[in-house]
């Protein structure tokens, strides 16, 4: 176990709720980020841009400042939950808080989906994951590439929605599939894959393999819910538009 990993050494159940992360650099960055999001939310495409900005900042606070950060040093399942918060909750909220991108061709959306998928798979492979925990700099490279690529992907998904639903729906369902595949691999692996967590899970009543299986289930099912919700909203909107167009054509 590397005690120098960001978020600190693995806590125990007795010390977990005392394990808040009050890193002044982190708090300063979150303060600046919140201010920038609120300032830019005035030009957001929706009326609720400021609300999305505050919700995004609250999500980042929970992910990095609350004891969840420390718990992710002990449990791989907590790390997965942490990453799900970044890419499936904070990222779309940030995308909604920012000014809407102009609709682009589907090629850029496909490229953004591919890049984000590569980052998700690379950083959750055992060797790169261990590398990320070996240095604060590499840890933040992992976090920022996951979050940044997710924000860009969500921006393009919401922009594509304005022009045509189908590319956006393809990206949403593609995200569900790729995370489901990763979740299935983690769930059905027969041995623990992440050496960092071998000696840190028992204190929380989980074997390393059970912790890894829980991580897989989190990546497989709950992580898909935000994408599925947005896909359902887009699909409903598409059906309503088609019905309205059909009704107008019949009247004509």
State mean pLDDT over 94-101: 88
Do the domain assignments include residue 4?
no
Do the domain assignments include residue 112?
yes
Helix (H) or strand (E) holding 28: helix 24-40
pLDDT of residue 5: 81
pLDDT of residue 52: 95
pLDDT of residue 46: 67
Lowest mean pLDDT among 81-90, 121-130, 185-194, 236-245: 236-245
Do the domain assignments include residue 11?
no
Over 70: is that where the pLDDT of 185 sits?
Answer: yes
Over 80: is that where the pLDDT of 250 sits?
Answer: no
Do the domain assignments include residue 146?
yes
156 is in which domain, residue-wise?
16-251
pLDDT of residue 170: 94
pLDDT of residue 99: 86
State mean pLDDT over 177-198: 98
- Per-residue pLDDT reduced to its tens digit, 28-37: 999 999 999 9
Work out how many domains the chain is built from and give that number: 1
- Burial call 211-237: b when 16+ CB within 10 Å, e when fewer: bbbbbbbbbbeebbebbeebbeebeee
Confidence of residue 243 (pLDDT cuts 50, 70, 90): confident
Over 80: is that where the pLDDT of 161 sits?
Answer: no
Q: Are 210 and 204 in contact (CB under 8 A)?
A: no
**Mean pLDDT, the chain, as a whole number?**
92
Over 50: is that where the pLDDT of 1 sits?
Answer: no
State mean pLDDT over 84-103: 91
Do the domain assignments include residue 1?
no
Do the domain assignments include residue 3?
no
Helix (H) or strand (E) holding 111: helix 106-123
Q: Are 196 and 206 in contact (CB under 8 A)?
A: no
pTM for this structure? Answer: 0.93
State mean pLDDT over 203-215: 98
Do the domain assignments include residue 2?
no
Confidence of residue 248 (pLDDT cuts 50, 70, 90): low
Do the domain assignments include residue 5?
no
């Amino acid at each position: 176990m590397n005690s120098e990993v960001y978020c600190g050494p693995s806590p125990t159940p007795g010390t977990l709720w005392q394990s808040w992360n009050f890193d002044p650099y982190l708090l300063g960055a979150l303060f600046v980020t919140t201010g920038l999001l609120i300032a830019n939310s005035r030009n957001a495409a929706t009326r609720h841009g400021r609300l999305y900005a505050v919700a995004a900042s609250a999500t980042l606070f929970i992910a990095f400042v609350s004891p969840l950060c420390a718990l992710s040093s002990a449990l791989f399942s907590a790390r997965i939950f942490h990453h799900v918060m970044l890419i499936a909750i904070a990222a779309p909220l940030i995308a909604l808080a920012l000014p809407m991108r102009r609709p682009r061709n589907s090629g850029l959306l496909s490229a953004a989906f591919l890049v984000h998928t590569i980052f998700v798979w690379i950083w959750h492979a055992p060797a790169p994951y261990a590398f990320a925990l070996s240095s604060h700099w590499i840890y933040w490279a992992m976090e920022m590439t996951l979050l940044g690529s997710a924000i860009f992907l969500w921006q393009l998904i919401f922009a594509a929605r304005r022009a045509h639903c189908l590319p956006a729906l393809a990206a949403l369902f593609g995200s569900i599939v790729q995370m489901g595949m990763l979740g299935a691999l983690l769930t059905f692996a027969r041995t623990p894959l992440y050496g960092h967590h071998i000696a840190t899970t028992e204190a929380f009543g989980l074997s390393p393999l059970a912790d890894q299986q829980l991580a897989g289930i989190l990546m497989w099912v709950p992580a898909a819910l935000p994408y599925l919700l947005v896909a359902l909203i887009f699909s409903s909107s598409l059906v309503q538009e088609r019905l309205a167009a059909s009704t107008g054509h019949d009247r004509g």
